[in-house]
Amino acid sequence: RLDEGILDWVEVFFALNIGRVSGWIALEEFFRPAPAEEVVRGIEFLKQCAAIAPENVQEPFTTFND
């Protein structure tokens, strides 16, 4: 499940926003007993993460690697 992993998806979408990346992302679901349900749940989770990810660098951080 995407919402139980160690990857911070809000940070991923933040990095994509900073890089002005747009378009599709692709993920694969392996070894789940009900993959269709997992995919639907994962898409909803990713939509939530994308919606709250900042569009730009914000205070207190204004640049990377200060």
Exposed/middle/buried for residue 23 (C-beta within 10 Å: 0-12, 13-18, 19+):
exposed
Looking at residue 48, what is its pLDDT?
Answer: 95
Per-10-residue mean pLDDT, the chain, length 66 = 86 92 84 80 93 83 56
CA atoms of 54 and 16, how far apart (whole Å): 10
Looking at residue 29, what is its pLDDT?
Answer: 72
CA atoms of 32 and 51, how far apart (whole Å): 27
CA atoms of 58 and 4, how far apart (whole Å): 27
pTM beyond cutoff 0.85: no
